């Protein structure tokens, strides 16, 4: 085989040109990683020293202390509530915003503001949003809910807009030709093409919201994160382990539920 290929390429040169710029870029990236690691004092010595610290820490976690399970359950319920409410509002808001941001459906003077809004929602990590909202509306779940609504709009809105931009415009053209009003065109020619993907994005975001709602509590925005942080500060490592195990359980349960949801809509 190799011989045959060599024969046919005689006189045409190597068909796979070497791109020295790409090779140079890879080498530069590699060197930068080594330089940055040195600069930040990332070394094996420190890593190995840290391992024994980690082992001590893990040792203090056992036996796991579930004695304050009532507090734990109450916190978990609040966490789930934050995630559910935020997902519901987030999904409802991102439908129209995603549509407004789709450049094949809307004129630029509508898509631009919508895209800027989505970009704003995406520009901050949820923790930063949570800090802002705790300042704005005070401690408690409301701040967490607002945080995750914005995170949801940023994620679903962007992906939904992209999904709409990828649809086939042929049925849209047909319905336009039949004199259908714009809203009917959206419902009949656009939504059926993106519905499944939208459900996929939504269930994925619900998953993410559940995980993030365990975290917003760290900055005081409600949910189990507040208790987690307090346990850390009191060196309550056995209770901390109980909290971490419950979070893992919660995320796994939600994983199973979202799998089931996806099956139903498949």
Partner 1 sequence: MMSDQNNPVGTHAKRSLKIENLVKEYVPGKPILNGISFEVKGTSSVAIIGASGTGKSTLIRCVNKLIPPTSGNVYVSGENITKLTGKELRRARRKIGMVFQEFNLVERLSVMENVLCGRLGYVAPWRAWMRKYQTEDIDLAFELLESIGLVDFAHQRADSLSGGQRQRVGIARAIMQEPHVLLADEPTSSLDPKTSVEIMELLLGLSESHSLPLLINIHDVELAKRYTGRVIGLANGGIVYDGSPAGLSNENLKEIYGGASWLE
Cβ atoms of residues 133 and 147 within 8 Å = yes
Closest approach, Cβ 169 to partner 1, in A, equals: 9
Please count the residues of the chain: 266
> Exactly one of 9, 38, 123, 195 binds partner 1 (CB under 8 A); which one?
195
Closest CA to 103 of 93, 91, 113: 113
Number of residues that bind partner 1 (CB under 8 A): 21
Q: What string marks each residue from 111 to 150 as x (binds partner 1 by CB under 8 A) or -?
A: ----------------------------------------
Stretch that binds partner 1, among 3-11, 33-41, 45-53, 168-176 (CB under 8 A): 168-176
Closest approach, Cβ 111 to partner 1, in A, equals: 21
**Taking CB under 8 A as the rule, does residue 178 contact partner 1?**
yes
**Taking CB under 8 A as the rule, does residue 181 contact partner 1?**
yes
The smaller minimum CB distance to partner 1, of residues 23 and 176, is found at 176
Closest approach, Cβ 130 to partner 1, in A, equals: 37
Closest approach, Cβ 203 to partner 1, in A, equals: 19
* Residue ranges in contact with partner 1 by CB under 8 A: 168, 170-171, 173-181, 183-185, 187-189, 192-193, 195
């Amino acid at each position: 085989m190799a011989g045959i290929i060599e024969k046919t390429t005689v006189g045409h040169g190597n068909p796979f040109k070497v791109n020295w710029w790409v090779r140079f870029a890879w080498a530069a990236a590699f060197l930068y990683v080594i330089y940055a690691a040195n600069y930040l004092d990332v070394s094996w010595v420190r890593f190995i020293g840290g391992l024994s610290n980690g082992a001590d820490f893990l040792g203090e976690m056992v036996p796991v202390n579930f004695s304050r399970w009532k507090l734990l359950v109450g916190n978990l319920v609040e966490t789930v509530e934050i995630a559910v409410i935020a997902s519901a509002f987030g999904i409802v808001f991102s439908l129209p915003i995603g549509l407004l941001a789709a450049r094949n459906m809307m004129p630029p003077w509508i898509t631009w503001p919508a895209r800027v809004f989505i970009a704003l929602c995406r520009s901050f990590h949820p923790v930063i949003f949570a800090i802002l909202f705790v300042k704005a509306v005070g401690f408690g779940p409301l701040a967490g809910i607002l945080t995750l609504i914005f995170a949801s709009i940023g994620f679903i809105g962007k992906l939904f807009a992209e999904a709409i931009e990828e649809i086939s415009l042929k049925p849209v053209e047909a319905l336009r030709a039949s004199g259908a009003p714009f809203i009917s065109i959206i419902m009949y020619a656009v939504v059926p093409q993106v519905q499944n993907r939208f459900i996929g994005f939504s269930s994925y975001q619900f998953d993410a919201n559940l995980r993030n709602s365990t975290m917003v509590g760290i900055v005081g925005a409600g949910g189990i994160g507040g208790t987690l942080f307090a346990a850390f500060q009191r060196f309550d490592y056995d209770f901390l382990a109980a909290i971490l195990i419950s979070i893992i359980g919660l995320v796994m349960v939600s994983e199973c539920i979202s799998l089931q949801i996806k099956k139903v809509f498949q």
